[in-house]
Each structure stands twice: as structure tokens, then as C-alpha cells.
């Protein structure tokens, strides 16, 4: 697993904050960091696989990744991210207990993800631009960081319930949390007050996949994590992840990732030895 270093991304190891923008995002290999990062999805969509769990992300999503989290991005589209990097080895000079606010948007907890409407995302980008203006003092930069976190926190508690993108955010969250279950699509449409046709259209527009193929993707990514990290048999993993049988699972796995589950496990064992 790649371990990203502070010295690579910060101007100095003495800095508390750094900025990294990806266009497009290129971290398709699992990694962790020496630093924490606050992530804003500026454009595109994809799957954020964190601590082995795949979560759909789209334009406007915000989440906080801790240095001990391991993750990568499995693109369904073209992701453009803004990353505020936070050096845990240095203390804020003027802020106290800011971690309490950051923990509310933990990337490892799906229900903590925040969605920013376009107007709020624009406001956040303005604050970020000011924050990394080198002419500003350290005190003012920390004030701007606090302002950024406050905007995000308020958005989390005052979500625009009638916004279609927000409704889609909730729908995709529901599918992710229950991706191993059998689906009754009509029950889901009633729960989210959508017609079947409208729901299927929104899912396809957001993910680029049909609802059935999107769920298969979630299941396959979850299975890949279990193959790499557990001692469960391939058959046990296939059944646990919602597949009818191991033969069907193996066929889909090879079609998606280019290798069979057994080959995946062999590679994982070789990497752990190395």
C-alpha cells in the first residue's frame, strides 16, 4: 500500500495546512497518508473505496479522511477534487478543538458525508483561495479555515431537502448501505417519493450505470476488499456479497477487474510477503 508523505505535499514540514487539487483525480491505488485531508468533489462522480467499503461520491460531496484511513478512487466518471491537507504533527496556533467539527464529516461514516449546493461550493472555493494567499497572516489563514469548516457544518445541518441532487444523494446512500440485500425497487420508489422511471433515470445519469450494474459494482468492490484482507473462501465471500453462486461471481469479477478472485488473492499474498 502506498503511504503518502508530508514532505511531498507540503511546502514545509512545519506547515499546518496545504492545498492539493487534482484534475482529474489519479489516486486509483489504495493508499493512506501521514496527513489528514478534507476533500471537496468539484466535478465528476465515482466510487470512493475507504477502509474497504465503496461509497458513491458526486459533485458537491465533502468528507474528511484521517491519516489512518486507507482508500482509493474507483472512477465511474472524471473526478476533480480539492484537498485541504492537514498536518497532524503541528498544532493550530489559534484554533482549539477544531477536530470535533471535522469528525462530524468523517469519510469512514457514510451518514456523515455532506453535500454542498453550487452556491455554497462557490463560497467555499472563495474561502480556500483566500486561505492559501501567501500574503495573508497565519492567524487570518486559520480564521479562514475555521470559516470553511463552519460553512460545511452549517450545510450539513441545513440541507436543501427539496433539491433533486440532495434527494439523489440520500437515495445512493441508501443503496450503498444495503448493497448486499435483495431489492424491491417499488418499495424504494415509495420511500423516496419517486416514480420507478424517474429513479432509474437519476441513478443512470449520476453513476453512468444502470441501477442493477451499479449495485453489482458496489458488491464486486466490497468482495475485492474481502478477498485481499480476509481468510474467507471465495464461495463464502460471493454469497456474503449478494451473488447467487461462486461461478457467476467469478465470471463478473474477471470481466470487471481482468483477473479471477483466486488470482486476486494470490497477488495479495505475494504483496504482503514483499
CB atoms within 10 A of CB 266: 12
Question: Does 1.10.3660.10 match the CATH number of domain 214-273?
Answer: no
pLDDT score for 57: 86
* Span between the terminal Cα atoms of the chain, in Å: 11
- Within this chain, domains 2-115 and 214-273 share the same CATH topology: no
pLDDT tens-digit series, residues 120-167: 999 999 999 999 998 999 999 999 999 999 999 888 766 555 566 667
pLDDT score for 108: 76
pLDDT score for 183: 83
Q: Which of 238, 235, 242 is nearest to 181 (CA)?
A: 242
For the chain, which residues score pLDDT lower than 70?
1, 25-28, 75-77, 110, 157-166, 271-274
- Domain 2-115 sits in which CATH superfamily? Jelly Rolls (2.60.120.10)
Q: Check the CA dihedral 213-242-48-121 and report its sign.
A: positive
Domain ranges of the chain: 2-115, 164-211, 214-273
Amino acid at each position: 500500500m502506498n503511504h503518502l508523505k508530508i514532505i511531498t505535499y507540503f511546502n514545509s514540514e512545519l506547515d499546518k495546512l496545504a492545498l492539493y487539487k487534482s484534475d482529474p483525480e489519479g489516486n486509483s491505488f489504495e493508499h493512506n497518508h501521514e496527513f489528514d485531508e478534507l476533500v471537496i468533489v468539484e466535478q465528476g462522480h465515482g466510487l470512493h473505496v475507504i477502509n474497504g467499503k465503496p461509497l458513491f461520491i458526486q459533485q458537491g460531496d465533502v468528507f474528511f479522511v484521517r491519516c489512518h484511513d486507507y482508500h482509493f478512487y474507483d472512477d465511474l466518471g472524471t473526478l476533480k477534487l480539492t484537498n485541504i491537507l492537514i498536518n497532524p504533527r503541528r498544532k493550530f496556533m489559534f484554533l482549539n478543538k477544531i477536530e470535533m467539527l471535522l469528525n462530524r464529516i468523517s469519510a469512514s461514516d457514510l451518514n456523515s458525508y455532506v453535500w454542498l449546493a453550487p452556491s455554497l461550493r462557490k463560497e467555499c472555493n472563495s474561502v480556500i483561495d483566500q486561505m492559501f494567499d501567501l500574503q495573508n497572516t497565519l492567524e487570518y489563514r486559520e480564521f479562514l479555515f475555521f470559516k470553511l469548516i463552519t460553512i460545511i457544518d452549517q450545510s450539513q445541518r441545513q440541507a436543501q431537502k427539496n433539491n433533486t441532487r440532495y434527494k439523489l444523494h440520500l437515495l445512493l446512500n441508501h443503496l450503498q448501505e444495503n448493497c448486499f440485500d435483495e431489492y424491491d425497487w417499488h418499495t424504494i420508489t415509495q420511500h423516496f417519493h419517486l416514480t420507478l422511471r424517474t429513479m432509474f433515470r437519476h441513478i443512470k445519469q449520476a453513476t453512468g450505470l444502470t441501477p442493477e450494474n451499479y449495485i453489482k459494482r458496489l458488491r464486486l468492490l466490497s468482495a475485492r476488499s474481502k478477498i485481499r484482507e480476509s481468510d474467507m473462501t471465495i464461495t463464502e465471500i460471493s454469497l456474503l456479497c449478494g451473488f447467487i453462486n461462486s461461478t457467476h461471481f467469478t465470471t463478473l469479477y474477471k470481466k470487471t477487474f481482468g483477473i479471477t478472485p483466486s488470482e486476486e488473492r494470490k497477488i495479495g499474498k505475494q504483496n504482503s510477503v514483499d
